[in-house]
Amino acid sequence: MRVMIAEDSAILRDGLAALLTRRGHEVVGAVGDATALVAAVTALAEGTGETKGSETAKGTGLPDVAVVDVRMPPTFRDEGLRAALELRARFPELGVLLFSQYVETRFAAQLLAGGARGVGYLLKDRVADVGDFLAALERIADGQTVLDPEVVTQLLGASRSDGGLGRLSAREREVLELMAQGRSNGAIAEHLVLTYGAVEKHVTSIFTKLDLAPDAGDHRRVLAVLRYLELDR
């Protein structure tokens, strides 16, 4: 397999690279943040094969699979998962293994939606056997889906209790997050570099997906923000 690694811990990043290389796989890149991951995979896919800085992508051609930590710089919340979503949208054939200490349900469901092939989510603390890890990676590269049972449990729990937030797209989540910060549609448009009309469409879609019908007695914007804040606690 040709493998890309995105892991902010230098020790774990180098350890994974050494393990995969010893087992005969080609590590085409090892980066420490989500921005570098997107740049490196794009460079490989487009045939340039190199990125700026000390961490470079080797060769050309899309990797078979990317091993991605969920929480990465700068905020250590969900940068890796967001990057994985972006890459899968651009390169659907790219296998992705989320490899983390945490289950991040806010966007993981989107990555796994629609019968996603070639996707996995394993928890670092629950992988006790190197052979099992490598077998999971090979299955993902082959187009299969591999999920830790704990990940499944938490995703199912979130889907039952997220109040509809799981239906929102990544962009709609960004818009709702800015709404929760008290920003107007105009301010959101400026922050996300969108037109005012585009933001209005996103807001309307948010109301629809959250089942917030027009009602003279309730302010839908406030209700949407309350639902977001309730889940984010």
Q: Over the stretch 106-123, which tens digit does the pLDDT of each residue have? A: 677 777 765 567 899 999
* In the predicted structure, residue 54 carries a pLDDT above the cut 60: no
Counting residues of the chain whose pLDDT is more than 90, the rounded percentage is 50
Q: Kindly report, residue by residue over 27-41, the tens digit of the pLDDT.
A: 999 999 999 999 999
**End-to-end CA distance of the chain, in Å?**
40
pLDDT of residue 53: 40
Q: What percent of the chain has pLDDT over 70?
A: 84
Nearest to 71, CA basis, from 108, 20, 22: 108
pLDDT of residue 151: 78
Q: Region 207-218: what's the mean pLDDT? A: 72
The answer to whether 34 and 82 have CB atoms below 8 angstroms apart is yes
Whose tokens are 């996103």? That residue is 202
Q: How many CB atoms lie within 10 A of CB 80?
A: 28
Q: Residue 43 pLDDT > 70, yes or no?
A: yes
Tens-digit pLDDT profile for residues 123-169: 999 898 999 999 999 999 998 888 888 877 776 665 555 667 778 88
**What is 2-161's CATH topology?**
Rossmann fold (3.40.50)
Q: Residue 4 carries which side chain, given as an amino acid letter?
A: M
Using a 10 angstrom Cβ sphere, with 0-12 exposed, 13-18 middle and 19 or more buried, the burial of residue 165 is: buried
Strands 26-31 and 2-6: parallel
Q: Which residues in the chain are classed under CATH 3.40.50.2300?
A: 2-161
| Domain 165-232 coded CATH 1.10.10.10 | yes
List, as one string, the DSSP characters of the chain.
-EEEEE-S-HHHHHHHHHHHHHTT-EEEEEESSHHHHHHHHHHHHHT----SSS----SSS--SEEEE-SS-TTTSSSHHHHHHHHHHHH-TT-EEEEEESS--HHHHHHHHTTT-SSEEEEEGGG---HHHHHHHHHHHHTT-EEE-HHHHHHHHHHHHHSTTGGGS-HHHHHHHHHHHTT--HHHHHHHHT--HHHHHHHHHHHHHHTT----TTS-HHHHHHHHHHHHH-
- Which pLDDT score is estimated for 161? 58
Q: What are phi and psi of 98, to 5 degrees?
A: -80, 125
Where do the CATH 1.10.10.10 domains begin and end in the chain? 165-232
- When the pLDDT of each residue in the chain is averaged and rounded to a whole number, the result is 84
> Residue 16 in contact with residue 134, Cβ under 8 Å?
no
- 173 — pLDDT class (breaks 50, 70, 90): confident
Q: At 75, is the pLDDT very low, low, confident or very high (cuts 50, 70, 90)?
A: confident
